Amino acid sequence: MERDADFLGRYRSISGKLKRRFLRKPNVSEAIGQFNALGKVLELQECSQYAGLCCLAMARCEHTLANAPGEASALVNAAQHFLEAENVDQSTSCPNFEEHLSAAINCYGHAIKVYIEQKQPALAATLCLRLANSLKGLKKSGEASLHYQRAAQLQYQNPLDCLHSMSQVADCKIELCDYDGALAVMTEMEYLARERMTIGVNGRPVGAFLDILSNCEISRVLLLMLLQPTPQRIRPEHAQTLERYSWESNEDSTPDCLSETLFLLLQSLVMACQSRDTEALTALQQDLWPLLSSTHNHLLHLIIKTLSNPATLSMEET
């Protein structure tokens, strides 16, 4: 209590100096320095939420001085302090209303707005990603996906960064068992990648675009096998994807982003799923496992689990 009273006393004392008085202009720069010094003391004392309040006061002062970079920096520091306070509450199972997390989200949101107003979308996108990563670390994938999506929108002029953020959106939707949503994101990613990709001398995508297209193709096939849409409900582009993996497909239909070995294994996977041959799927899993990412292997596990017990998918979604 003494520490709280001491902090409040010093905070009010500094704030009092900012009040306008007759024929006297407040020294805002001096107040910024004093709030900064008080914040550092509180940080050393592990009073993160109070240090965050000092940073918020600094941000208001910077706004008064029309110093947008200083305002944004102070807001980000405040958000980080509030997140530290939230992490402490989570780690100690302290009952709370997530007020520190709400404060952090508001601070990040305000800082993002400042950068957008300053025509700095790249910095705004960086803050969106930092906030999304923090939310994901707190097991809030639903909220995180929204900020990953906003980052992708701000990064549209930088296709690789945009696609990376979109892949994070898809991962969040998979964690939330929103497989339809993940499929839609992966389809959008493929369109964007093919529109903006770098093409090699052989007409095939190269570099990071090749990896992204490969990830999208594998993810879409696995998600379609997991969802098993009926012919009446499947979208034309998804039906076209599955046609490539039918036995009647010719060599020209082989995706330009997959190796022949991986394509043949996925083709066998599609056929095994359509015939509901769980033994064949289990055998294919051993061959596919080292070739797939952790997310892909998770989807493959769900496919086998769902085909073995059709009620499993509905249980995962609840």
**What pLDDT digit, counting tens, does each position of 16-72 carry?**
777 766 556 778 888 899 999 999 999 988 889 999 999 999 999 999 999 999 999
Give me 232's structure tokens.
């009446």
Cβ–Cβ under 8 Å, residues 41 and 11: no
In 3-state terms, what secondary structure has residue 234?
Answer: coil
Residue 215: per-residue pLDDT: 95
Residue 318: per-residue pLDDT: 46
Distance (Å, whole) CA 115 – CA 118: 5
Distance (Å, whole) CA 125 – CA 121: 6
C-alpha gyration radius of the chain: 26
Alpha-carbon distance values, 75 to 55, 106, 107, 128 (Å): 7, 9, 5, 13
Residue 311: per-residue pLDDT: 60
Report phi then psi at 140, rounded to 5: -120, 65
pLDDT(254) > 80: no
Residue 248: per-residue pLDDT: 64
Q: Give me the mean pLDDT over the 87-99 stretch.
A: 86
Q: Residue 93: which residues within 8 A CB-CB, separation 6 or more?
A: none
pLDDT in tens, 119-131: 999 999 999 999 9
Nearest C-alpha neighbor of 281 from the set 295, 294, 299, 293: 299
Residue 2: per-residue pLDDT: 47
Alpha-carbon distance values, 66 to 28, 54, 126, 309 (Å): 11, 18, 22, 62
